[in-house]
Amino acid sequence: MTVQSYSHCHHALTDPEIRASLNSHTEDGLTSEEVARRYEKYGRNELQFKPGKPAWLRFLLQFNQPLLYILLLAGIVKAVLGSWTNAGVIWGVTLINAVIGYVQEAKAEGAIASLAKAVTTETTVLREGQPLRIPSRDLVPGDLVLLTSGDKVPADLRLLQVRNLQVDESALTGESVPVEKSVQVLPAETPLAERHNMAYAGSFVTFGQGRGLVVATANATEMGQISRSMENRVSLTTPLTRKFEKFSRTLLYVILPLAACTLVVGLGQGESWIDMFEAAVALAVSAIPEGLPAVVTITLAIGVNRMAKRHAIIRKLPAVEALGSATMICSDKTGTLTENQMTVQAIYAGGQSYRVSGGGYSPHGDITGSDNEGTLDATALPPALAGCLAAGILCNDSQLKQTGTDWSVVGDPTEGALIAAAEKAGLSQAGLMTAMPRMDAIPFESEYQYMATLHEAQSRIIYVKGAVEALLSRCTQMLDAQGQAIALDADLIKQAVDHLAGQGLRVLAFAQKWQRAISTRSTMSTSLPIWCFWGYRA
């Protein structure tokens, strides 16, 4: 089996070029015989790790510190001289230090090894013209993969067809917002985060459909490169380890001459050799801070545990001290310092402003007015606010999922934030969907910058969500504080948008229209706008 080696410029190739480079058929997929040949050549689509150091060696390496050398040597001398109690104490301190370091680093290694599961899933491929559902580990380069909403991308793909396809690539780029994909050929120097005609292993499809050719599997994927970089074992040197080594050497240079001087002076005064040797060893051992290695290791272990609770893996204990010594953090625009969650924080509806508390996708929180008039619930919502929240929960293709005390979104993160905001006011997605079942929908399209759904209630109602500019051009009225339709004041809306955008919030607009039927997009030209604003919660 050979190691897969591909160029990483598939985004710069046209469809005929990518088909020729992979010797693949973009209509029927690979044949069974070709799959078998490629499977023999490239192996399973699984991350492969180099064999790690054996456990006994990793444990012995915990003693690889100059100060511990001195302690171990002192313990041996004490044992030879018959001072087993002192020798046991010294060895016990070094053993505890080694055990703590070994356990913490073993946990980190285990967490890193779990990265291999990131590409283990099932996927739909087209082989010999037939769609098949197979484990992702059975994929080979040149396979034709079909993607739908909710799928995990099983390998690095060059997209050939997309339909409103959006992919969450936060694991690779740190970008919280799903990326809208296309099939346009890109320049070879395009950075990874902007390769919109590629889908990478480990990312998730949040919306739409797509079809792509497998261009890299296993360790040849971008996720595989991350795995290999984490696998590299280098000698870790931090400010703490350098100071610790310098202190150990200084202590050694001071202790050994003093012990030798004590031995020589004692022998010169006629003392016995054994008594003076014991005195010299006692001086050396007493000058060594036996508890220092254990104290340092325990302190670092506490820091590692605190970082682990915040989902940060620290492989080597001293690394946590280096992180604590950082005086400046430089981050790019991709949202590296966010929690990869969207949260509604402010709402503007009916000329009134509202604040939303709570974080993440948990439906626990409150909606309060700008004048702190108290928490609002479903029985006392102003008409415009109620319509705004209903639009966000009905014009929506996502769902919230609870696992223990944690909440996550199945689908688009933005839509998950809208559901959570509505449920904080007491509105239920299941209840509204039952009372106002969906009859039809227009999925989001980048060309129009909005999504629309048609629901059946006392009469038919259309809900729309999208970019402010897209909805403003299609609306002629707005709702006031009492829920009455008034003439649209575009300047007032733009002022509210600019105010909230100045706070770092992203802006999303909603509109509704009672209608007997929906036929074309132009029927929404007289819809009633309701405005909702949301943003990141870091």
Query: Which residue is it, tokens 């302690």?
Result: 71
Catalytic option among 28, 275, 332, 377: 332
Active site residue 377: no
- What's the rounded Cα separation, in Å, for the pair 445 and 199? 19
Burial classification of residue 327, based on how many CB atoms lie within 10 Å of its CB (0-12 exposed, 13-18 middle, 19 or more buried): exposed
Do the beta carbons of residue 426 and residue 416 sit within 8 Å? no
Q: CA 255, 261, 262, 267 torsion: positive or negative?
A: positive
Report the amino acid identity of residue 321.
E
- What's the rounded Cα separation, in Å, for the pair 479 and 481? 7
Report the amino acid identity of residue 403.
T
Q: How many C-beta neighbours within 10 Å does residue 334 have?
A: 16
**Which residues 6+ apart lie within 8 Å of 341 measured at CB?**
176, 359, 360, 361, 413, 417, 537
Q: Which residues face 454 on adjacent strands?
A: 440, 462
Do the beta carbons of residue 392 and residue 532 sit within 8 Å? yes
Helix (H, G, I), strand (E, B) or coil at 32: helix
- What's the rounded Cα separation, in Å, for the pair 378 and 376? 7
Do the beta carbons of residue 454 and residue 462 sit within 8 Å? yes
Angle at 213 between CA 39 and CA 24, to 5 degrees: 65
Q: Which residues face 440 on adjacent strands?
A: 454
Please give the positions annotated as active site: 332
